[in-house]
Structure 1
Amino acid sequence: METIHISYPLSKEIIERFAKPQILALGQFDGLHLGHMSVIQAAILEGTVHKVPTSVMTFYPHPKEVMKKGDYEGYLTPTREKEELLGSAGVDFLYVVEFNQDFSRISPQDFVTEMLLPLQIHTAIVGFDFRFGHKGEGEAEMLKTLGKGNFETYTVPPFVIDEEKVSSSGIRKYLMEGNIVLANEWLGRPYTLSGTVIHGEKRGRTIGFPTANVELAEPYVLPKNGVYAVKVNHYGEELHGVMNIGVKPTFHSGVSKPWFEVHVFNFTGDLYGQGLRVELISYIREERKFQSIDELITQISKDADTARSLLNSLEQ
């Protein structure tokens, strides 16, 4: 898959290189959850039927971030992870549109005229709640009207689990509640945090549980503080571990920014400066303050045993 970063209006170079019949899935696709993937899979199927490439058009930064909306909490699926997931799904081209204040003001008509028609798209595939143009004035029916005579427009219905519509807002809510099981079910994969191991307080090694202190690579939606059973991807090798997300109240007070510390089972190497991908599998307990180091050590040992049991049961 090829990723193309574009801006409004399309440049002559982009048009000359990429204008061709193609099926285009349109949307923010922040979570790339099961609902989003149903739109993209519909586009891939349409591309196969018509024997033309499949493209996805998304927007970065997130419109809520640019417009300073109060309910913006970060990314569920940053662009780098989107690229990996879409490439493995069979998408040919990913257009990442620069979203800025100027772009937010364009009309639905101008979006179609200046961004879609020059690409010569064959068919646009959108979700039932797709909005575009200034203040979200455009929706699927308007896209169909504006594209008439130039491209077809198909709308994909909601993806429903247990009579609930799968949505990014629902996944964010589950993550903030610590309901990682439902968040993962709606995503269709484990929620993943990626980052680089940095030097921390080095306290874990002194109590028998050395931890990797992960500095996140992106402004992710942060899950609820607490202890999680996790899978760790280290240069392609899958390892198991337990992760604490929080402010370490046993040792600190008045801290709001969380640490992300992973104890990787049966690992003795040096991780400093290396990249880790941590998949959150199960929420074990809330973070809390302990009255003594011994009490903390006892609880960490129990947490590790719980995580091992949970992770092993999933592989049987």
Structure 2
Amino acid sequence: MNIVRLAYPWPENGIPREADPQVMVIGQFDGVHLGHSSVIDYGIRLARRLGITASVMTFDPNPKEVLGKGDYEGYLTPLSIKEEILRGMGVDTLYVAEFNHAFAAVTPEQFYEQMLVPLHVHTAVVGFDFHFGHRGAGTPELLRELGQDSLLVETVPAFLLEDNKVSSSAIRAALREGDAKHATKLLGRPYQIRGVVIDGDKRGRTIGFPTANLELSERYVVPRPGVYAVRVLAEGVWRAGVMNIGFKPTFQTGETRPSFEAHILDFQGDLYGQQLAVELIDYIRPEQKFGSIDELVTQITRDAESARQILL
């Protein structure tokens, strides 16, 4: 997959004009969930049928982050993960448009004339609720009007699961509630976070449950604090594990930021400095404060067994 990065304002000579036409799927696609996949798959199939390039245009950082929207919680799929998913789906070219305040002021007309026309877009494929341009004034209908006879616009309807629309906001809500299984159903895959293993307080190894303390690599949507059955990609192998997300109340650390500590079942090794990927499979229990270390060890033993039953 070819990745092209675009930044506004464009160079004086503008965006290089593409030599060949392409089908372009346009959207933020945070999560690349089942609804997003239905739009992207439609565009890829159309491009294959026409014998032209299948491309996707997305925006980074997330517009909500740049514009300071109050409901912004972080990414479901940071750009690095999004790129991997799109590559696996068969996208030929990914355009990553840098979203900044200057780009936020671009009108729908400018977006069409300065971005889509130079890129020789044959067909734009968008979701039913697609908006673009300053204050989201652009709609699929306006894009058709702007393109007239030179641009086709295909709109893909909402993707329904059990009569409910699949959306990024529904996935965020599921994660806030600790419903990892429902998030998996909406995403079409488990929710994944990534981070580098850093030094922690090393209490886990003293009680027989060494943990990998992750420093997240991106600003992710943080799930509900608690204990989860997880799969961990460590040293190139997916392994069963249990993860605590939270504030370690038993030790009264006074943490204001949640920690992410994973214990990998039946694993011995040094993971410090390595990047791990962790998939949330199921919620086991809320985080809780224990009266003694012995009580904590007993519960962790139960958690590990619960995770083993869920995963193995």
Native 8 Å contact 1:8 1:115 kept in 2: no
Structure 2 match to 1:173: 173
The structural deviation recorded for 1:20 is 2.3
Match of 1:107 in 2: 107
1:3 Cα deviation after fit: 1.3
List per-residue Cα deviations over 1:215-248 (Å, max 9, x = no partner).
1000000000000000011243111100000000
Cα distance in structure 2, aligned partners of 1:214 and 1:35: 30
Aligned equivalents of 1:252, 1:93: Cα separation in 2: 49
Residue 23 of structure 2 is matched in structure 1 by: 23
1:198 maps to a residue whose letter is I
**Structure 1 counterpart of 2:44, one-letter code:** I
* C-alpha separation in 2, matches of 1:217 and 1:254: 23
Q: How do residues 134-283 of structure 1 correspond to structure 2 at under 5 angstroms?
A: 134-283=134-283
Report deviation, 1:253: 4.9
In structure 1, what is the equivalent of residue 82 of structure 2?
82
Residue 24 of structure 1 contacts residue 124 of structure 1 at CA under 8 Å; is this kept in 2?
yes
**Residues 245-254 or 175-184, more deviating:** 245-254
Q: Secondary structure at the match of 1:35?
A: helix
Could you tell me how far apart the structure 2 residues matched to 1:10 and 1:119 are?
Answer: 13
C-alpha contact (below 8 Å) 2:126/2:155 kept by paired residues: yes
- Separation in structure 2 between the aligned mates of residue 8 and residue 47 of structure 1, nearest angstrom: 27
Which stretch shows the higher mean deviation, 141-150 or 279-288?
141-150
Matched residue, 1:304:
304
CA contact (8 A) 1:226 1:287 kept: yes
Q: What's the % identity of the aligned pairs?
A: 55
In structure 2, the residue corresponding to 1:122 is in which secondary structure? strand
1:26 Cα deviation after fit? 0.3
C-alpha deviations, 1:193-231, integer Å up to 9, x for none?
101100100000000000000110000000000000000
Offset at residue 78 of structure 1 (A): 0.4
Letter in 1 for 2:32: L
Structure 1 residue ranges (4+ consecutive) displaced by more than 6 angstroms after TM superposition = none
Distance, in Å, in 2 between the alignment partners of 1:49 and 1:9 is 34
> In structure 2, what is the Cα distance between the partners aligned to 1:161 and 1:212?
36
After TM superposition, the structure 1 stretch with the greater mean CA deviation from structure 2, 18-27 or 156-165, is 18-27
Please say if residues 15 and 114 of structure 2, whose CA atoms lie closer than 8 Å, have aligned partners that are also in contact: no
- In structure 1, give the amino acid aligned to 2:232: V
Post-superposition CA distance 1:42-61 (Å, at most 9, x none): 01001100111110000011
Shift in Å, 1:4: 1.1
- Paired residue type of 1:151: L
Deviations 1:271-308 (CA, angstroms, capped at 9, x unpaired): 00011000000000000100110000000000000000
Give the structure 2 partner of residue 131 of structure 1. Answer: 131
Q: What runs of 5+ residues in structure 2 fail to find an aligned partner? A: none
Q: How far apart in 2 are the matches of 1:158 and 1:306?
A: 37
Give the corresponding residue for 2:40: 40
Q: Which is further off, 231-240 or 272-281? A: 231-240
Offset, 1:256: 2.0
- Provide, for residues 59-90 of structure 1, a one-character-per-residue CA deviation record: whole Å limited to 9, x for no partner: 01111111101000000000000110000100
- Give the corresponding residue for 1:58: 58
